[in-house]
Chains A and B, each alone.
Chain A
Amino acid sequence: DAKTTQPNSMESNEEEPVHLPCNHSTISGTDYIHWYRQLPSQGPEYVIHGLTSNVNNRMASLAIAEDRKSSTLILHRATLRDAAVYYCIPGLFGNEKLTFGTGTRLTIIP
């Protein structure tokens, strides 16, 4: 499994963009980069995934470095509901075995 490095915690002001970084320098060529988040007292929820190209969906954007050794999850306008632990997970696309690390705890300041 590819190892990941994420900041333990980050803070952001409400209604401002948030950039959550992830280093995954040992990622294999066939690994996708998944992002999940876990709100307090909830199970994890899918945010976004990508392979090589930048990706956008209704929740977030994913910017993937050209060498694929790092990626950044972008929340364009943070709300209080975005306060959660965000996990960056390199792995096979089929979700056979998601290897969560400790993630980044995001705090949103009103």
Chain B
Amino acid sequence: DTGVSQNPRHKITKRGQNVTFRCDPISEHNRLYWYRQTLGQGPEFLTYFQNEAQLEKSRLLSDRFSAERPKGSFSTLEIQRTEQGDSAMYLCASSLSGENTEAFFGQGTRLTVV
């Protein structure tokens, strides 16, 4: 296992289109997180899962955004009716629950909405 994997690495889409990103966490990790990062800013929390349950969603996650982790393994983040303001790096991370754990991040998916 080489770490958290995100696909695609880059996505260019036209405004109004739907996009879906995939995250494959480290295999034994039960927690999975999504973050969004715009230029010059630190990552912003969007949502996280423990196994297949979505435990918290940020108010940044508008109703155009939906995330799933159907079998507690990989996760998808879908953005419907994309807007130019959705252009950002979308980062996925995973960790074990409990003490003495750390979050491992993927390299992200860069979305450009034109």
Point out the residue from A43, A97, A99 that lies within 8 Å of B48, measured CB to CB: A97
Interface stretch (choices B12-20, B70-78, B103-111):
B103-111
Tell whether B40 is near chain A: CB-to-CB under 8 Å.
yes
Point out the residue from B97, B99, B104, B106 that lies within 8 Å of A46, measured CB to CB: B104
A41 to B102, CA, bound (A): 20
**Is the Cβ of B108 less than 8 Å from the Cβ of A43?**
yes
A42 to B42, CA, bound (A): 12
A24 to B104, CA, bound (A): 24
> How many interface contacts (CB-CB < 8 Å) are there between A and B?
59
Tell whether A67 is near chain B: CB-to-CB under 8 Å.
no
Interface residues on A, range: 20 to 34
**Is the Cβ of B103 less than 8 Å from the Cβ of A46?**
yes
**Is the Cβ of A45 less than 8 Å from the Cβ of B44?**
no
Q: Which residues on the A side are within 8 Å of B98 (C-beta)?
A: 94
**B76-114 interface with A by 8 A CB criterion:** 91, 93, 95, 97-99, 101-108
Contact residues of A: prevailing secondary structure? loop
Q: Which residues on the A side are within 8 Å of B48 (C-beta)?
A: 96-97
**Is the Cβ of B56 less than 8 Å from the Cβ of A96?**
yes
Nearest CB in chain B to that of A44: its residue: B105
**A54-110 interface with B by 8 A CB criterion:** 85, 87, 93-103
* B36 nearest CB across to chain A (Å): 11
**Is the Cβ of B43 less than 8 Å from the Cβ of A44?**
yes
Nearest CB in chain A to that of B101: its residue: A95
**Given the contacts A43-B91, A43-B93, A93-B99, A98 and B104 also touching, CB distance less than 8 Å:** no
Tell whether B62 is near chain A: CB-to-CB under 8 Å.
no
**B49-84 interface with A by 8 A CB criterion:** 55-56
* A107 nearest CB across to chain B (Å): 16
Q: A-side interface residues toward B, CB under 8 Å? A: 36, 41-46, 49, 85, 87, 93-103
15 A-B residue contacts at CB 8 Å? A42-B105, A42-B107, A43-B4, A43-B91, A44-B43, A45-B104, A46-B102, A95-B102, A96-B55, A98-B33, A98-B45, A98-B103, A100-B42, A100-B44, A101-B42
